Structure formats: C-alpha cells, structure tokens
Amino acid sequence: MKIAIGSDHGGYGLKQQIVAFLDKQGYTFKDYGHYDASSCDYNDVAKVVANDVSEGKVDRGILICGTGIGMSIQANKVKGIRAALVHDCFTAEMTRLHNDSNVLAMGGRVIGIDLALHIVKIWLETPFSDADRHQRRIDKIEK
C-alpha cells in the first residue's frame, strides 16, 4: 500500500510523528508537505493528495490540519474521494468497514500523538467489509 500524507502548519507536528510511524512500520509513503510550521493554505495540500488518491497514484491519503475539518472538506471536493474526519478509534474502524474511506483527516490541535498513531494503525489495517448494503451506499455516493 502506498500512502500520501500532507498537512498545513496546524498539522505539521503531528504529521512528522505519523511519518516516523509509517517509516518504522515499513509503509511506502510520499510526504506532500507542508515541510515546516510556517503558515500555509490547507487547500493546496489537500487537493494534491486527494487528486493522487483519486487518480490511483497512491492507494490512500492522510491529511492533517489544525482541526481536520478544512482538509476533509477540500479533499471531498475531488471525485472518488471519501475523506473521513476521525478523532477516535471506533470511527477509524467504521469508516473503513462501512464507507471504504480512502482519505483519513485528523486535527493536530485536537488529538494527541498516541491516539493519532493508534487511529492511523486501525485505519490502515481495517479492510472494507464488502457487505452489499455498504457497497450499495458507496455506489450512491459515487453517482
């Protein structure tokens, strides 16, 4: 699995922790920036990550801003993206099982590092359920 990861200045610190985690776990990933804590627009990073997920250049994306809200809104503007804003382990699992989310959004100012790493682990390891009712609902989203 190849993962795209990106943040704005509000998510930069958490992104760095997640990058180290992905590297330690042996995941293949590409860091789309932001590369420091200077102010930037979340929209620019979210759009590039979402486009690469949508186009199949990467399998999944992880986006972090201050709250995760802006990143998730921007990513969901891209056709084929199912970005989920997650701040707990249960929704990390459910968004994969039921919604087959392909982009994870989190808030660097909302959750701590340990919880965020646990969310990432759950989200990356949880498969889509393939249940007919869930696929039917995803198909409706795509239309």
Catalytic residue numbers read: 65, 98
Residue type, 50: A
CA dihedral over 63, 77, 2, 48, signed as positive or negative: negative
Q: Tokens standing for 96?
A: 């994969």
Bridge partners of residue 4, in order along the sequence: 30, 61
As a residue count, the chain comes to: 143
| DSSP class of 17 | H
